[in-house]
Structure 1
Amino acid sequence: MNSQEVKIVQVRLEDREKLVDIGYRTFYDAFGPPVNTEKNIQSYLQEKFTLEQITKELTNVNSIFFFAKLQDQIVGYIKLNSNNAQTESVKGNSIEIERIYVVKEFQGKNIGQVLFNKSLQVAREKNVDFIWLGVWDQNPGAIKFYERNGFKIFDKHPFVLGTEDQTDVMMKLRL
């Protein structure tokens, strides 16, 4: 498979059930047992990946989602936030990559890079100074991916998963 086969399409409100499905599935695959307890992962998923919550996020003018599609199959997605939709108050003109996920069977096939490239395109269109994101400090593969793409760690912040306090490293890429 080459990256030209992957189509990036903006998620529309009528796609919200598909977004709930892929969001729930990819987050569970990445962070479910044995990495985190079933109770903690379910608590988080039932808060963040409900139809009501995803509808709210999709209708926020400062958030935008894109699906990665291979033929007609959704194989990944990204969520980008600007202005007051960002999960942290970061000084400067920026955009946040809040979520970038690829379905487990399609990982290692350059889809994450295609999604990341789309975030760069959006950031340049919005004329921001930098892109930033938070990534779990226990996820070295993701940290290495972002470092390969020029990101540098600049801070950290807490991330609560169910009853567990975790730490995300915050990384940024100057444009």
Structure 2
Amino acid sequence: MGLPEVLIKPVQPEDNHKLLDIGRQTFYDAFGPPHNTEENINEYLNENFTLDNITRELHNPNSKFYFAWINNQIAGYIKINFGNAQTEPVEGNTLEIERIYVVKEQQGKKIGQLLFQKILQIAKEKSIEFIWLGVWEKNPGAIKFYKRNGFKVFNTHKFMLGTDLQTDMMMKLIL
């Protein structure tokens, strides 16, 4: 049996509740216990994944969100940033992948790869010099995914998840 058809569509402002729900769920599934404490993950979610924050991000012209749909169900999503919406100051015409998540039940079906292909298509349309991202150093599956797609580590970045100081590996793909 083949893989299901995946439709990738821009997230609309009126989808802010759906985006909040999938954002919170996929972040929790990826980084919740046993990887981090319940207290730290909930503190992070309650500070960063709020309806106000998601709505503001959706209205930022330099941020774009896309849902991956399978059988009228949201299977994953991406958030990409340009210009001053990027989470770090970066020189040049660059694109940041801030979020690329697939719901737990849909993992292993190449949805992340399809979302990444959408990012590549957008980057080429906008003549992007390089794509960059931060990935948690303790997320070997994601690191392997990005390396397989040609990304190379160029720096590290510290961030707080609740009370825990963590390290992201900064990776980029020169186009």
Q: Do both share a fold (TM > 0.5)? A: yes
2:28 paired residue number? 28
2:43 paired residue number? 43
Following superposition of structure 1 onto structure 2, how do residues 24-173 of structure 1 map, counting pairs within 5 Å? Answer: 24-173=24-173
| Cα distance in structure 2, aligned partners of 1:160 and 1:102 | 23
| Cα distance in structure 1, aligned partners of 2:3 and 2:131 | 26
Deviations 1:70-126 (A, max 9, x none): 020000000000000000112222000000000001111100000011111111111
Q: Is the partner of 1:35 in helix, strand or coil?
A: coil
**Deviation beyond 3 Å, 4+ runs, structure 1:** none
Q: Quick one: which amino acid aligns to residue 94 of structure 1?
A: T
How many residues matched? 174
Q: Quick one: which amino acid aligns to residue 116 of structure 2?
A: F
Q: Which runs of 5+ in 2 are unaligned?
A: none
Q: Quick one: which amino acid aligns to residue 66 of structure 1?
A: Y
| Cα distance in structure 2, aligned partners of 1:113 and 1:48 | 26
| Cα distance in structure 2, aligned partners of 1:40 and 1:34 | 11
Q: Quick one: which amino acid aligns to residue 151 of structure 2?
A: F
Q: Is the partner of 2:90 in helix, strand or coil?
A: coil
Residue 142 of structure 1: CA displacement?
Answer: 0.5
